[in-house]
Structure 1
Amino acid sequence: MSADVIRFPSPPSRLARRLEWFGTDRSVLLMIWALYFALRVAVLLIDVVPTSDAGWYYSRAESLAAGHGYLDNNGAPTAFWPPGWPIALSLVFSQFGASSVVLGLFNLTSAMLIGLMTLAMGRRLFGSEAAARAGLLLLAVYPNAIGYVPLALTEVFYTALLMAGCWILMTRTNRWQLVSAGLVFGFATLVKAQTMVVIPLIFAIEWLRQRPVWPRFPRLFAEGLIVLGVAMLTVLPWTIRNHTQMGYWIPVSTNGGFTLLTGNHDTATGDYTPDAPVVNDLMARKDLDEVERDAEARRLGLDWIENNPEKFLALAPKKLIRLWLPDGEAEWAYQGDAPSYAGAEMLYRTVRYANQAFYALLMMAFAAAFFVMLVKRHRDGQRWIGWWLLPYGIALYPTLICVVFSGQSRFHYPVMPFVCMTAGWLAVTVWNARAERGRPSARTLHQVRDQ
């Protein structure tokens, strides 16, 4: 006689049942979307007057909507600052009128697209509905993401474009989608001029994530060139406009030199310092026009870097700190431009502190998720390179730019949906691990049978 051990499946733990509910129940997703939408609608009730950078963009959009062209404050044609955001906003203004309400609703539409992309990309990158929902939930309650919705700044619209371009390339099934991605990235370049560096990054991840590596290279290289080519063609009409109206070949804008100089001079601190003496002296020169001043600023910045390599390297950590350490900079717009700020300063500041704590947790999770994913993929016998690296590549993009130019916390805004989806994956991974540990041991029955 001998005995066989019959194992019965153990019932799932309470944590496992909750995780399954979170990842499968339709009402959970609807509640997350309701929260996401409601918080962004609520912030639109705050009156914020566009000033400073936001005021410039808003005024340019009004001018374009009225058919006056892209003009400076003196009524002369200009290429100062990339025109993509004012152009997009002007199209909306021309249909519905120029107002803070129209601006807010347009940003709300972009914010909803960001949420949709966060959910879809979370599913695609991590293969988990629960992780995708967790990422969307984190973004839904992230105060700084909410705070930008009423502002006439580029961040919300640009983030939607960036994520849409990434999504098209990740999910493409035919060559025409390469054209669509090129158009999206081209217009995104008109919003932020350095955007095209993201395209090679995406193709590099796709190239290295699967074997065979080298036989796939020619096709992917050609497809990357198609996307870059279409993006450049999308920018080209603006470049031609600049030459026609201003007499110079200006690819996108005339603020690149000033951005370089404000981050690299004798009194630079790593942050954006537009009031430095060297910048003020250059702006005061009447013998130079807009393009010549920008070219001179670029020369001065490059000369300073060449003559002060040690100082330039010493500024790099300070620039990185200014880029990644603080968050909640949306409060500055309310502080200067919202009439309600004076009567509710304590509330605004409390939200700012809560946001900073929430941001710190997100970034710690983002860093930890990198190593957890490496261990998990090694344990499962998978290549370590995969689409999961895209959020880290997107984070690398402003990091490299800020080292050369200057650090500003608003530059990491487009990275945060990617941070949220990665942190959401880590949260669900930890949740699942705890659920497995809390699972009761399997029940067994010993069955005796004859030999």
Structure 2
Amino acid sequence: MTPFWVALVCYVVVFFFARPTGRRAALLGAVWGMGLLAEPILLAAVLGVVLPYWLRQAPPERQRSVLLLAGALLLAALIVLPWTVRNYLVFHRFVPLKTSFGLNLWMGNNPSPTGFLYTMAGEPMPHTLPPERVAYLASLNEAERYAVLQREAWQWVIAHPDRFLELTIKRIGYLWLISPTFQITAENIVEPSYFYLLRYAIQIPLLILALIGLIIAYRHYRAALLICLWWLVAFTMPYAISVAGNTRYRLPVEPVLVMLAAVACAAALSRWRST
């Protein structure tokens, strides 16, 4: 579901700037709002994509676009508002969309971190908490519990910046390739081990082609490349600093990799035809 909304929101942003109108702004706001309910990262991602499009407009067009985009943002906020109100009634604090970032941040940054969801001994990361700490956290509601864990995670990061940097590099690798979870635990693992090795065989060539496509795009399609790079950063950075326990976190940016790989393939085909 998330890749669908991510791709659709990206499309309506491009659709809006092709010819900014009130109807297209309303469409952008509606799709953006519904997409936010599936993936909160779309808030920062869309703002980052909108900016380069807006800067490329002529000065007279920018003012009108700002008004239309403000309307789109307002409509998106109205769509999200009922869920935010529900969260306040349930948790008694302001939670715009999800509460889970605090948990994910702690899972990746704690006294026994690995960069994924398990310890190196194969134990789920929450099992590292002492019983009295578990009891205290259980007495809190979900938002309070994850807020406590998030605060502890940031305290750990500040106290161990070098370890945080090391883990972040590992998490980036786990996210773009695959985490070693299947080698450490059988919990929630239903596929045979060769299935994960096959992913390497597919993912590594794709990454190489995408890197080649990125270099070619820098020469010929810099504006589009800037948007692609921001999309890649926006959707992967939260997991790079928290926990990269599942390759599904990468799904929203897979279309970008495929597009960059297609640029490389198209350039190779064009060169082959010219020889």
Look up the equivalent residue of 2:51 and give its one-letter code: A
**Structure 1 pair 392–265 and aligned structure 2 pair: CA distance change class (3 A):** same
Is contact 2:211-2:260 (8 Å) kept?
no
**Structure 1 pair 311–412 and aligned structure 2 pair: CA distance change class (3 A):** same
Query: What are the Cα deviations for residues 16-43 of structure 1, in whole angstroms up to 9, with x where unaligned?
Result: xxxxxxxxxxxxxxxxxxxxxxxxxxxx
Picking from 149, 155, 159, the partner of 1:303 is 155
Three-state SS of the structure 2 residue aligned to 1:269 is coil
Picking from 207, 222, 238, the partner of 2:54 is 207
Residue matched to 1:422: 260
Distance in structure 2 (CA, Å) of the matches to 1:224 and 1:216: 12
Give the C-alpha shift of residue 350 in structure 1: 4.4
Is contact 1:186-1:235 (8 Å) kept?
yes
Which is richer in helix?
Answer: 2
**Structure 1 pair 300–427 and aligned structure 2 pair: CA distance change class (3 A):** same
Picking from 60, 63, 74, the partner of 1:229 is 74
Is contact 1:238-1:251 (8 Å) kept?
yes
Residue matched to 2:231: 394
Q: Give me the TM-score of the superposition, normalised by structure 1.
A: 0.52
Query: What are the Cα deviations for residues 323-375 of structure 1, in whole angstroms up to 9, with x where unaligned?
Result: 11228999xxx99486xx6xxx4xxx545433321211111111111111223
Distance in structure 1 (CA, Å) of the matches to 2:156 and 2:222: 39
Look up the equivalent residue of 1:256 and give its one-letter code: F
**Within the alignment, does 1:411 sit opposite 2:255 as a pair?**
no
Which is bigger in relative contact order (C-alpha 8 A, separation at least 6)?
1
Distance in structure 2 (CA, Å) of the matches to 1:312 and 1:391: 27
Counterparts of 1:11-410 in structure 2, within 5 Å, are 157-172=1-16, 173=19, 174-208=21-55, 210=56, 212=58, 217-273=62-118, 275-276=125-126, 277-278=128-129, 282-285=133-136, 286-326=138-178, 336=188, 345=192, 349-375=193-219, 377=220, 385-408=222-245, 409-410=247-248
Distance in structure 2 (CA, Å) of the matches to 1:218 and 1:185: 21
Is contact 2:216-2:263 (8 Å) kept?
no
Distance in structure 1 (CA, Å) of the matches to 2:171 and 2:179: 14
Is contact 1:260-1:406 (8 Å) kept?
yes
Once the two structures are overlaid, the 10-residue window that deviates more, 321-330 or 253-262, is 321-330
Q: Give me the TM-score of the superposition, normalised by structure 2.
A: 0.81
Distance in structure 2 (CA, Å) of the matches to 1:255 and 1:229: 25
Distance in structure 2 (CA, Å) of the matches to 1:366 and 1:300: 37
Is contact 1:187-1:234 (8 Å) kept?
yes
Distance in structure 2 (CA, Å) of the matches to 1:388 and 1:279: 47
Is contact 2:41-2:235 (8 Å) kept?
no
Give the C-alpha shift of residue 422 in structure 1: 2.2
Structure 2 unaligned regions, length at least 5: 119-123
**Within the alignment, does 1:433 sit opposite 2:271 as a pair?**
yes
**Structure 1 pair 318–335 and aligned structure 2 pair: CA distance change class (3 A):** closer
Give the C-alpha shift of residue 160 in structure 1: 0.6
Look up the equivalent residue of 1:436 and give its one-letter code: S
Three-state SS of the structure 1 residue aligned to 2:125 is coil
**Structure 1 pair 288–329 and aligned structure 2 pair: CA distance change class (3 A):** closer
Is contact 1:205-1:385 (8 Å) kept?
no
Structure 1 unaligned regions, length at least 5: 1-156, 378-383, 438-451
- Paired residues in the alignment total 261
Larger radius of gyration: 1
Distance in structure 1 (CA, Å) of the matches to 2:248 and 2:26: 30
Three-state SS of the structure 1 residue aligned to 2:222 is coil
Is contact 2:107-2:117 (8 Å) kept?
yes
Distance in structure 1 (CA, Å) of the matches to 2:87 and 2:228: 35
